Amino acid sequence: GMGTDFSTIRPEFALVRRTGSVSSGILPFMDMWDSGCKTIKSSGDRRGAMMGTLCDTHPDLPAFILAKREKGRLENFNVSILLSDAFKSAAEENADWPLYFNVPPISQTPECAALNFIDDSGEMQYVYSVWDAAELWDLILKNTYEYAEPGTIFIDRVNEWNNLYYCETIRCTNPCGEQPLPPFG
C-alpha cells in the first residue's frame, strides 16, 4: 500500500500552456493508478491498497468528494481530504470558500477572476469556483455517512504535532490513515 497527495495535479479544465489543451483533472489519474493497483497481487491473492488525499482548496474537490459514489470506481483507494484550520473556520462562519490553483482555467467568470490572488510564496492563484464552506462541509459529511468516504485529515493539527516539523511537511497517510507521511515517506 501507499499514499499519494493528488493536490499538485492540474484540475479539470486547467489550461495546459505548452500544448494549448485542457487538463483532465485528478480523477482520471486516480483511475489509472487504481487500475495499476488491481494488477498487483501479493502471493496471487492479496490486493493492493492506496490512500489518495486532496487539499481543501483544489478545484476538483467536489468531484473528489463524490467520486466513490460511482460503483466500481477507485476500489483500491481510500480517499481523504486535507482539511485546514482556515476551512474549519470558514465552515463555522458560513463563509465563502474559493477553490483555486496556480494554473488558469480555460475560462473564468468575472466574479472568480476578481478573486485571483498572489499567495504567500509569490505565485498567482486562479479561482475556479466559490462555495459556501458550510455547504461543502455538509457535502463531505453526507458522503462520509452514506459511502464511508471521504475521510478527513486535519492537516494543520497533524503538521503542528509532527516531531519532525522543522524538516518535513506531512501531505498524506498510509492507506488506512494511521501513519502520516511526508513526500516520499
Give the burial string for 5-33 (b: 16+ CB within 10 Å, else e): bbbebbbbbbbeeeeeeebbbbbebbeeb
Catalytic site includes residue 167: no
Residue 76 neighbours by CB under 8 Å, 6+ apart: 34, 37, 38, 47, 48, 49, 50
Does the annotation count 178 as an active-site position? yes
Dihedral of the CA atoms 98, 104, 110, 115 (nearest 10)? 40
176 is catalytic: yes
Q: Which among 80, 44, 47 has a CA at the least distance from the CA of 65?
A: 80
Options 70, 123, 163, 178, the catalytic residue: 178
Catalytic residues: 174, 176, 178
